[in-house]
Amino acid sequence: MKFCFLFGKTPTESLEMLQGAFKEQALSRAQVFEWFSHFKKGDLSIEDQPHSERPSSSQNDENIAKIREKLNEDRHYTTDELLEVTGVSWSSVQRILTQDLRMRRVAAKFVPRLLTEDQRQSQLAVCQDLKRELQNDPDFLSRVITGDESWCYGYDPESKQTSSQWKTPSSPWPKKIRQVRSKVKTMLICFFDIQGIVHREFVPRGQTVNQEFYLGVLKGLRERVRRTRPELWRTGKWLIHHDDAAAHMALRICQFLTSQGMTLVPHPPYSPNLAPADFFCLPE
């Protein structure tokens, strides 16, 4: 490189010569231009410059242990904060995090609620009970009628998946306009079982789903079961499932279910992941 500079070659000409001679082992374009920058400043030395006695890399077992210990204390540490508390250089901290500890920084996932230990134990107990019930009775799921409320819009924006289409290399790229959800919406209460929809009811505009209104929905559900599920109605072994919303768990509702012999499948508090209506019938 030094000889190319002394013979009056330009950085680009020098790069072409190096690539022709050394192929893949040649210096990169950035390295060639960096060397020429040094030479133009009058620094023709190609020897290593003297440096301090500090090791060239701080990526050692001691520093890895320091950073692991700090992260075990608090996973919110940033790279700059780790630099301050450990004294390790910024680049070494980055290499230790990504290469040695194989970690990456991610944003926290939003969840509706953080469950307490008692609530988690309750969720576990309910799931175990349902699993045992299914093992003891293979027809258990066929007897469950589950339901929930959901907002229904006049139209839903077209998703990325549904808007995708095949194209040839020469055809233009498909386009779509920006859409927002319709302001026209209504609430739907829907109950279904393994065979399909059992009962559905739209909530009138301005009506709140309180215990009085929900009681009327349950009465309509009983009538629909009698008409559309005669075998379940005759045996009386059908089960109802809904979440723990206030209107669902009101005392008046519980008294009605008991008086009518409608067995309720338990649902642990704050557990939308265990509500089938959120996944099969009324996806958000």
Tens digit of pLDDT per residue, the chain (284 long)?
Answer: 666 766 778 888 888 887 888 877 777 888 888 877 877 777 777 776 665 555 545 678 888 998 999 999 988 888 889 888 888 888 888 889 988 888 888 888 777 778 889 999 999 999 999 999 999 999 999 999 999 998 887 766 666 667 777 777 787 877 776 666 667 788 999 999 999 999 999 999 889 999 999 999 999 999 999 999 999 999 989 999 999 899 999 999 999 999 999 999 999 888 888 888 776 654 44
Q: Same domain for 206 and 271?
A: yes
Residue 231 and residue 207 in contact, taking contact as beta carbons nearer than 8 Å: no
110 inside domain: no
Q: Same domain for 35 and 96?
A: no
- Per-residue confidence (pLDDT) for residue 28, from 0 to 100: 82
Distance in angstroms (rounded) separating the CA atoms of residues 242 and 266: 8
Q: Same domain for 265 and 210?
A: yes
Query: How many domains in the chain?
Result: 3
- Per-residue confidence (pLDDT) for residue 178, from 0 to 100: 67
Which regions of the chain does DSSP assign to beta strands (E)? 144-153, 185-193, 196-203, 239-241, 263-264
Q: Same domain for 142 and 231?
A: yes
E strand or H helix at 120: helix 117-136
Q: Same domain for 27 and 134?
A: no
Q: Same domain for 30 and 121?
A: no
202 inside domain: yes
What CATH number does the domain containing 233 carry?
A: 3.30.420.10
179 inside domain: no
Q: Same domain for 86 and 149?
A: no
Q: Same domain for 140 and 87?
A: no
45 inside domain: no
Q: Same domain for 125 and 214?
A: yes
14 inside domain: yes
123 inside domain: yes
- Per-residue confidence (pLDDT) for residue 17, from 0 to 100: 83
* Domain limit, last residue, from 52, 74, 100: 100
Q: Same domain for 23 and 127?
A: no
**Cβ count near 95 (within 10 Å):** 17
Q: Same domain for 89 and 197?
A: no
- Per-residue confidence (pLDDT) for residue 283, from 0 to 100: 46
- Per-residue confidence (pLDDT) for residue 284, from 0 to 100: 45
Domain ranges, residue 66: 61-100
- Return the bridge partners of 196, or none: 193
Which of 150, 233, 145, 230 lies closest to 191, judged by CA? 145
- Per-residue confidence (pLDDT) for residue 166, from 0 to 100: 76
**Cβ count near 16 (within 10 Å):** 14
85 inside domain: yes
Task: Return the structure tokens found at 138.
Answer: 């293979």
Distance in angstroms (rounded) separating the CA atoms of residues 188 and 198: 13
Residue 198 and residue 224 in contact, taking contact as beta carbons nearer than 8 Å: yes
Q: Same domain for 71 and 205?
A: no
Degrees, nearest 5: CA angle 194-199-204 = 145
- Return the bridge partners of 187, or none: 151, 203
User: Taking each helix axis from N to C terminus, what angle separates 79-86 and 61-73, rounded to the nearest 10 degrees?
Assistant: 120
111 inside domain: no
Distance in angstroms (rounded) separating the CA atoms of residues 208 and 210: 6
pTM of the predicted model as reported, rounded to 2 decimal places: 0.57
